[in-house]
Amino acid sequence: MKRSDEFPQASRRTVLRSGSALAACMVLAVRPAKATPDEMKAAIHKVIGEATIQTGKVHLDVPPLVENGNTVAISVSVESPMNAASRVKTIHLFNEKNPQPNVASFHLGPRAGRAEVATRIRLADTQTVIAIAELSDGSFWQDSAEVIVTLAACVENM
């Protein structure tokens, strides 16, 4: 039997190579609905552009361990005099591993008085949450917090 005639190209090397390519395709196809830290970086880049983010001023308050990722109480406060000369314009919230990296953006008016917001969010996995504040002088400040989630939200079936 002339096997080499039936599969003229199928050397061991090409079979392995095509096999690994197929495996790569399958990994792409079954990629779970999760944002990656890279997607979060891209989402942050979309908001801040080429500016650099400094650490500090922002205080992100979120429990370090949450049982239920469907409602995680979160509050962000920013040290700022909040007057006409210097105030916080926007507070953005991002996460690493939910299906979408954006959580919320809060736009504070000139009369806000205090740069503090609180809400409840969903977290699909144990991950890092980042709060970024945009000040009226154009600078960006951030704080991050690691949250351990035991019951994930967002993607569970009904």
Partner 1 sequence: MARALINVPAKAKPGEVIAIKTLMSHIMETGFRHSSTGDAIPRDIITSFVCSYDGAEVFRADLYPAISANPYLTFFTTATKSGPMTFEWRGDNGFVAKETAEIVVE
CB-wise, 60 or 72, nearer to partner 1? 72
In the complex, minimum distance from the CB of residue 4 to partner 1, in angstroms, rounded to a whole number: 46
User: Which residues of this chain interact with partner 1, rule CB under 8 A?
Assistant: 33, 70-72, 75, 95, 98-100, 102-123, 153-158
In the complex, minimum distance from the CB of residue 65 to partner 1, in angstroms, rounded to a whole number: 18
CB-wise, 70 or 136, nearer to partner 1? 70
**Residues 117, 91: contact at Cβ < 8 Å?**
yes
Q: 89: how many CB neighbours lie within 10 A of its CB?
A: 18
CB-wise, 106 or 140, nearer to partner 1? 106
